[in-house]
Every structure is written in C-alpha cells, then in structure tokens.
Amino acid sequence: MRGKFIVIEGIDGCGKTTQVDTIYDWLPNSGLMDINSKLIKTREPGGTPFGKKLRDIILLNDQKSPPSNLTELLLYAADRAEHISKIITPELNKNNWVISDRFTGSTMAYQGYGRNLNRKIIKQLELIVCQGEKPDITFFLDISPEESILRRKNRVPDRIEAEGINFLKNVNLGFKEIAKEKNWEIISASQDVESISNHIKTKLINSCL
Ligand code: Z5A
C-alpha cells in the first residue's frame, strides 16, 4: 500500500497555504485515508531542515548579489531532491499521505515561463530530481496577477515577489498552460475560501485516489 500525493499550485498569494491548511484539517476524518495512515503537510521550497536553509538563501531579497537564473533553478532542484528523498517518498512508502504547497509545476512556471530558462532542460532536470515521483492530483488556484499583488500589499516582498507584474503575468500564463497540459484541476481562486475548499474536497472524494 502506498499513500497519495496531493499538490496545490498557483502564483504568489493565490491562497495555496490557506487551502493546504484547510484540507490538512479535513482529510484525516474524511474517510478517504486508511485509519492508520498519517497526513503530512509540507511545502517547497523548505519542506526539510536542509531545505529551510536553502529557502532562506533563495528568497533573500539581497539586490546586491542575487543568484543567476540558472543558479536559482538548481537551488530549487536541490531543495526538491532533498524533499523527495527525505519526506515525500519515505512517507508515501509508509502509506502516509502528503499534501504539498508547490511542486515541479512551480519550477516550470517561475523558472521556465518567468525567467525564460530552456523548458526542455527544466524537464530533463525534473526527471533527474523526481526519479519517477509524481503527484496523484494537482490543484491549480487561478487568480489574476493584479489580485495576487493586491492580496500581498501589506507585506514585505521576498526576492521572487519583488519581480513585479510582468514577471508574474508570464508565470501565470505558464501555470495556465501547464495546468491544461497536465490535466490539473483548475479552480478560480477569486472565490471565497470556503467555495474553493469545497471544490477541492469534492474533487478528492470523487477522484477515487
Ligand atoms: N518558487 C519558484 O520560483 N520555483 C519553484 O520551483 C518553487 C517556488 C517551488 C516561495 O513560495 C517562492 O518560491 C514563490 C515561488 C517561488 N515566489 N514567490 N513569491 P511560497 O509558496 O513560499 O510563497 P508564496 O507563493 O508567495 O506564498 P504566499 O504568498 O503565502 O501565497 P499563498 O500561500 O498562495 O496564499 P495564502 O498565504 O494562503 O494567502 C495570501 C493572502 O490572501 C492571505 O492574506 C490570505 O488570508 C488571503 N486569502 C487566501 N485565500 C483567499 C480568498 N479565497 N479570498 C480572499 N483572500 C484570500
């Protein structure tokens, strides 16, 4: 028996963390999981102790010495390699379920469409890093870049958030294309929190994971 791997994706501020928390509270008593299975809540970057250090480096908004785009891609890949080998695969193999705030779709959207790095190379890197591990289901929370920026207006932006609207528009376009290509469940994230949660719960119940 192997657990299930659920991922929530979308641009900054789309409400991923809010939904991961809601589903984390609901899923163990939903009847979907085996009685002895645990649910692991995690995220990228920073889902492991080593990954937390990488997260600090990646997101530090130090305008004097930002990493190159390729360095940034490799740092996200390193974080994911650690995450898969230390958390995701071992937990799934124990028949536990894993819900992650972001996964490979974020790399394709941010580094592929946002930074315009070669998408074939990103796919090759994904093959090396993931070693066959992939989500059972991915939800894409779709909001406009304008709404995303509005939702984050009262906080200090990290290095990626500081990129501005044109970058975010490209990332969002990327997410939309990937969502179609990979048959992700697309949800309008402009709805209220409860409507979005209900959509996710209904899809999980009906998808016979
Ligand atoms: N990144 C990358 O470039 N490449 C990669 O491979 C990976 C990541 C994995 C860190 O991600 C950064 O790394 C991120 C992508 C990049 N870049 N940025 N920026 P992160 O996931 O840690 O950071 P984030 O996406 O910026 O998270 P966030 O701002 O916390 O957004 P969120 O989790 O999607 O949203 P939230 O925290 O649940 O909600 C944001 C606000 O909106 C909050 O005030 C909520 O109360 C509110 N909210 C939530 N839902 C709603 C609804 N439905 N209506 C109204 N208001 C709402």
Residue-wise pLDDT for 6-17, tens only, equals 999 999 999 999
Q: Decide if pLDDT at 27 tops 90.
A: yes
3-state DSSP assignment of residue 41: strand
Give distance in angstroms: CA of 117 to centre of ligand 1.
22
Q: Whose CA is nearest to atom 31 of ligand 1?
A: 13
pLDDT above 90 covers a percentage of the chain that reads: 89
**Cα dihedral sign, 170-192-17-197:** negative
**Closest approach atom of ligand 1 to CA 101:** 21
Which tokens go with 7? 């991922």
**Cα dihedral sign, 129-134-135-141:** positive
Q: Decide if pLDDT at 208 tops 80.
A: no
Does the C-beta of 82 come closer than 6 Å to ligand 1? Answer: no
Does the C-beta of 12 come closer than 6 Å to ligand 1? Answer: yes
According to DSSP, the residues that pair with 102 across neighbouring strands are none
Mutating to test ligand 1, I would choose from 16, 24, 192 the residue with most ligand atoms within 8 A of its C-beta, which is 16
Q: What is the pLDDT of residue 155?
A: 84
Q: What is the pLDDT of residue 158?
A: 83
Q: Decide if pLDDT at 22 tops 80.
A: yes
3-state DSSP assignment of residue 69: helix
Which tokens go with 133? 């591990």
Is 0.85 surpassed by the pTM of this model? yes
**Closest approach atom of ligand 1 to CA 58:** 13
3-state DSSP assignment of residue 38: coil
Contact assessment for residue 185 and residue 6, using Cβ atoms and an 8 Å cutoff: no
Among 98, 54, 100, which Cα is nearest to 79's?
54
Does the C-beta of 174 come closer than 6 Å to ligand 1? Answer: no
Contact assessment for residue 168 and residue 149, using Cβ atoms and an 8 Å cutoff: yes
Q: Whose CA is nearest to atom 17 of ligand 1?
A: 160
b/e string for 140-157 if b means 16 or more Cβ within 10 A? bbbbebeebbeeeeeeee
Q: Whose CA is nearest to atom 44 of ligand 1?
A: 151
Which tokens go with 183? 């048959």
Does the C-beta of 101 come closer than 6 Å to ligand 1? Answer: yes
Contact assessment for residue 88 and residue 42, using Cβ atoms and an 8 Å cutoff: yes
Q: Decide if pLDDT at 157 tops 90.
A: no
The pLDDT tens digits of the residues spanning 106-121 come to 999 999 999 999 999 9
Does the C-beta of 91 come closer than 6 Å to ligand 1? Answer: no
CB atoms under 10 Å from CB of 197, counted, come to 20
Residues 6+ apart with CB under 8 A from 61: 156, 157, 158, 159, 162
